A and B are shown apart, each in its own frame.
Chain A
């Protein structure tokens, strides 16, 4: 699933806004020709495939964005995985398991796409586990009760889909293909969440209150998922030029707000924003100020669950070491046996 505020500078990196303004190094003649070819292809809405020439900065940006996206899928399993053993019915449990398994699959598609750019799975996992790599900040908030699971499906996955649909047209072939597959699977995620909430809204007052409370806690975080405002998003211009990004953060956010308002109405919940109202002249909803200080504090490691998420992820990886070793040992033994039989 998740986001496009990927492409956040990682630990130890200089903010690329500075890089944009710097004079880039002078290209040699053959490089300049290749660059011109590349630009022409991007302008013609063409696709770039692995092993073809591409500017180093394009490659680096993609590696960072796709790997951050992959990490988000993997870490995104944690807040929901928490609730598998506590799902209210066998049906909801089966659905949640299927959803969490999908997220794992999405992480794998994306890691594979990033590997075509010359980075290794080990390098990417290492960057995640040592805390050098970022993932979507939305997973650094807690899922406190069952209503949160419904709201994560409805709003978090809803925002993610909004972000990911334009990525299906991204200029880098493997990323675009991975996103097509992800988007196909993702729509079940949003619908199951919304439906779970519809059921709760037919329940007791306490259950209805739980839904409203969860919506109140997640709404603003979901709006922030679209990334900083366009005026404060220096990477966006370059991403658009490269055909990686197709729609600006603020435009996507607006689309999400406009799509969600009627859904909230049907569900019977309110969205926690006194400034949220229809603007007749803009033919869109106005909405209030997002707390960007809180957003950046969470991105930079100080959200409520950053440490817990990373700790759980690293523990899962470490606990699985013997399985990976055993699979390797088994494969080696089989190979030896084959070679002996052939000799």
Chain B
């Protein structure tokens, strides 16, 4: 075979995030991302890429650019306020043994 010819300039399909519900009764869970031209296309691709072995009964796709995310650098300020509120956990409270499970 001859040496490969120069490929034409690439034009990218936008990026989508894929969420799959593995079975009825469970939540959709993020499982990855893919490129597709539009939403129906993204759904079809997601089926082929992420559910080849019956891993899902329902798929959501969302344009990646539509997702707002917390800043990794703000992690302390953003999540710390809940760190010192131990009274939000059931284990904070001592209940007499004879009460049993509560």
Q: A residues near B, CB below 8 A?
A: 49, 51-53, 98, 101-102, 105, 108-109, 112, 115, 120-122, 125-126, 129-131, 177-178, 181, 185, 307-308, 310-315, 317-318, 321, 324-325, 327-328, 330-331, 334-335
Contact = CB atoms under 8 A, between A and B. Distances in A.
Contact of B12 (A105, A121, A311): A121
Contact of A328 (B11, B48, B53, B72): B11
A327 B3 contact: no
Main secondary structure of the interface of B (DSSP, over half): loop
A331 B41 contact: yes
B62 interface: no
A314 B35 contact: no
Interface in B1-55: 1-8, 10-13, 15, 32-38, 41, 48-49, 52-53
A308 B1 CA distance: 6
A122 B10 contact: yes
Interface of B: 1-8, 10-13, 15, 32-38, 41, 48-49, 52-53, 69, 71-73
24 contacts: A51-B69, A105-B49, A108-B34, A109-B32, A115-B15, A121-B35, A122-B10, A126-B10, A129-B4, A129-B7, A130-B6, A177-B32, A307-B1, A311-B2, A311-B3, A311-B4, A314-B4, A321-B8, A325-B11, A327-B13, A327-B36, A330-B37, A331-B37, A331-B38
A177 B33 CA distance: 12
Contacts of A115: 15, 33
Contacts of B37: 324, 327-328, 330-331
A53 B73 contact: yes
B7 A317 contact: yes
A328 B1 contact: no
B13 A328 contact: yes
A314 to B, nearest CB: 4
Contact of A324 (B2, B13, B33): B13
A192 to B, nearest CB: 14
Contacts, number: 83
Nearest to A309: B1
A318 B5 contact: yes
B5 A314 contact: yes
Given A102-B52, A311-B3, A330-B38, 20 more contacts: A52-B72, A101-B48, A105-B49, A121-B10, A121-B12, A121-B35, A126-B7, A129-B4, A130-B7, A311-B2, A312-B1, A314-B7, A315-B4, A318-B5, A324-B13, A324-B37, A327-B37, A328-B13, A330-B37, A331-B37
Contacts of A130: 6-7
Contacts of A52: 72
Contacts of A335: 38
A77 to B, nearest CB: 14
Contacts of B52: 98, 101-102, 105, 185
B41 A185 contact: no
B64 to A, nearest CB: 10
B35 to A, nearest CB: 6
A147 to B, nearest CB: 24
A108 B48 CA distance: 11
A49 B72 CA distance: 9
Contacts of B8: 318, 321
A74 B28 CA distance: 29
Contacts of B1: 307-308, 311-312
A307 B41 contact: no
Nearest first, the 5 closest Cβ-Cβ pairs linking A and B are: A331-B38, A314-B4, A327-B37, A122-B10, A331-B37
